[in-house]
């Protein structure tokens, strides 16, 4: 069988940059899988060291602004023939009593293109409980042209394109007129090479060949002819001035950015998404250093950084302490001998953007945040929950209540003031232009208004944590306001029935719940979860029904998932959260205690006993945890009672001091008396008072064993 490496490239007009990497990977993956399903990939095929990526050994994807391509090693010219066994029908239906074919069997064979003479060769095998007839044949393997045609169709059809565009292609002279093609962008070329041979396939109205186009302005040869599938990347780089590999191009840009920044004693802003997007915008990256007027640095650097990144795709430069420089880096798609025109053009383009930011900043500071409070009543928050002004009032009430509980009048008053002003920057010109800066600009304007650093930081931080791994608010006022803001959103949305379903969470309630969890745990806030949720509901009056129970379940679910992601086992998490601990700050200590207890040799037996006790107690009505020593008849129950008198005070003292690990480990001494009790004592004694006393003993033991966690969850 002839085996060679395969190259397929689609040459198109500029692809959407934010989707380029995903498009390239999907095109290569589906094409490879479809060929492999047709047995056209030689299992012995290997990738040469020159082109293999460290983490990928089956194919190499290429993606640039104007091309999607894939290189696949070890592709067969013709797939091997394939033996096929096709079930026909049960033997009782296909053959009569004499073993001759029935009309039904003959009709089935005829429909398959087989003849009656094939009947003696049919295979008989059990199919479930009945014997069936099977027709065995050999199907000729697909040629590469056939298989690649199918693979191209599949790869193009399955590209993750949210919206396609339609364009017209002129037909050949035999079929005059125009045909409509649908694709993400107009396609202009198709390359399909098996080694050095062109594979005769078509796609999007294009016939495969061996030539493509290089860089629009800097290619040394046009068209660029690919002599062999293995020469694709090298030929494009040499003759076409194109780095075809997305990863190689990205690495080259990162290297150039670091080198240019280092020459200036600076560091480029770290933004992986921006680096990906710029990689998808250029085929031959060339990093250039530009600058803007130093007076623009009077504007908050977050504004300047955002406008340079979002609008211009530039890389701002920071000094060693993270302060913005008036130098910035651009990634050009051309490499002229004299780059001054490119540099000057980029500097002229960015200047109006920075001037706009400076204008917005100056205009916004002419009004205080307090003067904007009234305007919040004119901004709709939700049709069932009123305006931003009404929402602000609710957040203030919740923040005041939490602040009072945590820090008395001083913290309550500061939190209420910060909550009152926290949303006012929504009415500023800067946030109107850059919504990503809400909160950040409020902090700047609060300082300009002469408010304290605590209030300004609280306004700036009250959206935190915005995402997984984000920092928490920096001071107690910010923590209270951030917690109140998230609680208002959760209680309000749950109260009107806007509960996340499946992947849909338009109000980011899962993220808000995780934010609440993180603040309560990481700051060890002295707040009970359910009480805190209940205290937020009155702020809504009659607008919502009290959602405390459903919302508590939701928060515990988010906490459970978060803990498992942090590496705790399902058993450990279930054991701790089964008790619904109200002080979430205790949860990590409880988890560590459970982990330490599970490592003890006595843990398995005690967990199993705890599960058994729980099952016994479930079958009885409310059992009093009282034990009368005079009713203890058996030595084993007397020994267990005596052990409890010794162990429980120790375990309880450790629990009350917060040493959960020591509290659980103290229970290990109960293993022997617990085992002896179940071996030698009948719990359900005939005498009612004896039975109730033994149940009371088990109830006392059960309560003691489950103060830190539900140990039955550790039972196998």
Q: What is the pLDDT of residue 626?
A: 85
Confidence band of 4 (pLDDT split at 50, 70, 90): very high
Closest C-alpha among 592, 543, 551, 552 to residue 569: 592
Q: Is the pTM of this model over 0.95?
A: no
Q: What is the pLDDT of residue 177?
A: 64
Q: What is the pLDDT of residue 99?
A: 80
Instruction: Please report the domains of the chain, with CATH numbers, ordered by start residue.
Output: 3-79+143-239 (no CATH), 86-139 (no CATH), 246-364 (no CATH), 370-567 (1.10.3210), 589-714 (1.10.730)
Confidence band of 50 (pLDDT split at 50, 70, 90): very low
SS3 387: strand
Q: Is pLDDT of 79 > 90?
A: no
Hey, which residues does 318 pair with through a beta bridge?
Answer: 267, 324
Confidence band of 363 (pLDDT split at 50, 70, 90): very high
Q: What is the pLDDT of residue 130?
A: 83
Q: How far apart are CA 588 and CA 518, in angstroms?
A: 11
Q: Degrees (nearest 5) of the Cα angle 697, 699, 702?
A: 115
Average pLDDT, the chain: 91
Q: Is pLDDT of 171 > 60?
A: yes
Q: What is the pLDDT of residue 49?
A: 36
Percent of the chain with pLDDT over 70: 96
Instruction: State pLDDT tens for residues 667-713.
Output: 999 999 999 998 888 888 888 888 888 899 999 999 989 999 999 99
Q: Is pLDDT of 197 > 80?
A: yes
Please check whether residue 187 is in contact with residue 203, taking contact to mean a CB–CB distance below 8 angstroms.
yes
Confidence band of 476 (pLDDT split at 50, 70, 90): very high
How many Å separate Cα 293 from the centre of its chain? 40
Angle between helices 603-618 and 688-705 (to 10 degrees): 130
Q: What is the pLDDT of residue 175?
A: 54
Q: Is pLDDT of 592 > 60?
A: yes
Instruction: State pLDDT tens for residues 284-327.
Output: 999 999 999 999 999 999 999 999 999 999 999 999 899 999 99
Tokens 């091309």, located at residue: 67
Q: What is the pLDDT of residue 90?
A: 87
Q: Is pLDDT of 425 > 90?
A: yes
Instruction: State pLDDT tens for residues 240-256.
Output: 999 999 999 999 999 99
Q: Is pLDDT of 45 > 60?
A: no
Identify whether 285 is preceded by a cis peptide bond (ω within 30 of 0): no
Confidence band of 135 (pLDDT split at 50, 70, 90): confident
Closest C-alpha among 102, 107, 106, 109 to residue 86: 109
Closest C-alpha among 707, 490, 475 to residue 610: 707
Task: Compare 76 and 129 and report the one with higher pLDDT.
Answer: 76
Q: What is the pLDDT of residue 149?
A: 95
Window from 420-424, 552-556, 648-652 with minimum mean pLDDT: 648-652
Identify whether 465 is preceded by a cis peptide bond (ω within 30 of 0): yes
Exposure of 61 in the CB half-sphere (CA atoms within 13 A): 21
Q: What is the mean pLDDT of residues 572-593?
A: 95
Q: What is the mean pLDDT of residues 390-402?
A: 97
Q: What is the pLDDT of residue 716?
A: 66
| Residue 688 neighbours by CB under 8 Å, 6+ apart | none
Q: What is the pLDDT of residue 586?
A: 95
Hey, which residues does 287 pair with through a beta bridge?
Answer: 331
Task: Compare 71 and 56 and report the one with higher pLDDT.
Answer: 71
């Amino acid at each position: 069988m002839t085996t060679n490496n395969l190259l397929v490239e689609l040459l198109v007009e500029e692809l959407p940059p934010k989707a380029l990497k995903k498009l390239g990977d999907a095109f290569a993956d589906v094409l490879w899988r479809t060929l492999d399903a047709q047995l056209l990939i030689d299992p012995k095929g290997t990738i040469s060291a020159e082109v293999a990526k460290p983490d990928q050994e089956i194919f190499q994807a290429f993606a640039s602004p104007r091309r999607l391509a894939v290189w696949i090693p070890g592709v067969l010219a013709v797939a091997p023939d394939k033996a096929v066994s096709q079930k026909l029908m049960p033997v009782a239906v296909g053959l009569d009593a004499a073993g001759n074919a029935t009309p039904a069997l003959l009709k089935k064979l005829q429909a398959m293109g087989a003849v009656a003479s094939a009947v003696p060769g049919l295979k008989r095998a059990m199919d479930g409980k009945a014997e069936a007839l099977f027709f065995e044949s050999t199907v000729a393997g697909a040629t590469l042209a056939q298989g690649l045609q199918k693979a191209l169709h599949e790869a193009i059809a399955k590209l993750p394109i949210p919206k396609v565009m339609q364009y017209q292609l002129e037909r050949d002279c035999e079929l005059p007129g125009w045909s409509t093609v649908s694709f993400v962008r107009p396609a202009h070329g198709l390359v399909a090479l098996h080694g050095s041979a062109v594979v005769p396939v078509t796609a999007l109205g294009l016939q495969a060949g061996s030539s493509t186009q290089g860089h629009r302005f800097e290619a040394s040869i046009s068209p660029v002819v690919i002599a062999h599938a293995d020469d694709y990347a090298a030929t494009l780089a040499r003759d076409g001035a194109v780095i075809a590999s997305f990863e190689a191009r990205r690495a080259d840009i990162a290297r150039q950015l670091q080198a240019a920044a280092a020459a200036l004693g600076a560091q480029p802003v770290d933004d992986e998404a921006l680096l990906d997007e710029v990689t998808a915008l250029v085929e031959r990256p060339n990093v250039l250093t530009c600058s803007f007027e130093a007076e623009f640095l009077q504007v908050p650097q977050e504004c300047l950084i955002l406008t340079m990144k979002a609008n211009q795709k530039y890389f701002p430069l920071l000094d060693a302490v993270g302060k913005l420089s008036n130098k910035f880096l651009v990634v050009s798609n051309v490499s002229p001998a004299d780059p001054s025109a490119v540099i000057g053009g980029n500097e002229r383009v960015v200047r109006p953007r920075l001037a706009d930011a400076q204008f917005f900043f100056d205009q916004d500071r002419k009004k205080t945040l307090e003067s904007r409070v009234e305007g919040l009543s004119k901004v709709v928050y939700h049709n069932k929950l009123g305006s931003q002004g009404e929402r602000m009032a609710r957040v203030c009430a919740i923040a005041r209540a939490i602040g009072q509980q945590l820090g008395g009048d001083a913290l309550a008053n500061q939190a209420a003031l910060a909550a009152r002003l926290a949303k006012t920057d929504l009415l500023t010109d800067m946030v109107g232009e850059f919504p990503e800066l809400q909160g950040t600009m409020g902090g700047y304007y609060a300082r300009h208004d002469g408010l304290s650093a605590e209030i300004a930081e609280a306004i700036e931080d009250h959206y935190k944590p915005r995402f997984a791994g984000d920092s928490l608010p920096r001071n107690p006022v910010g923590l209270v306001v951030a917690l109140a803001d998230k609680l208002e959103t959760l209680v309000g949305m749950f109260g009107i029935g806007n509960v996340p379903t499946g992947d849909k969470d338009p109000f980011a309630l899962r993220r808000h719940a995780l934010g609440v969890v993180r603040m309560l745990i990481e700051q060890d806030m002295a707040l009970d979860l359910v009480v805190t949720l209940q205290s937020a509901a009155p702020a809504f009056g009659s607008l919502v029904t009290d959602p405390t129970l459903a919302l508590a379940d939701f928060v515990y679910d988010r906490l459970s998932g978060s803990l498992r992601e942090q590496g705790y086992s399902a058993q450990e998490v279930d054991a701790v959260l089964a008790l619904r601990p109200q002080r979430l700050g205790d949860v990590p200590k409880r988890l560590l205690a459970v982990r330490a207890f599970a490592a003890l040799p006595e843990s398995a037996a005690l967990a199993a006993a705890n599960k058994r006790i729980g099952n016994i107690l479930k079958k009885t009505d409310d059992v009093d945890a009282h034990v009368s020593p005079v009713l203890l008849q058996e030595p084993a129950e007397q020994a267990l009672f005596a052990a409890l008198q010794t162990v429980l005070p120790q375990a309880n003292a450790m629990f009350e001091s917060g040493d959960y690990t020591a509290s659980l480990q103290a229970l290990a001494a109960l293993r022997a008396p617990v085992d002896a009790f179940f071996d030698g004592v009948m719990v359900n004694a005939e005498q009612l008072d004896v039975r109730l006393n033994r149940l009371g003993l088990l109830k006392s033991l059960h309560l003691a064993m489950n103060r830190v966690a539900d140990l039955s969850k550790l039972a196998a």
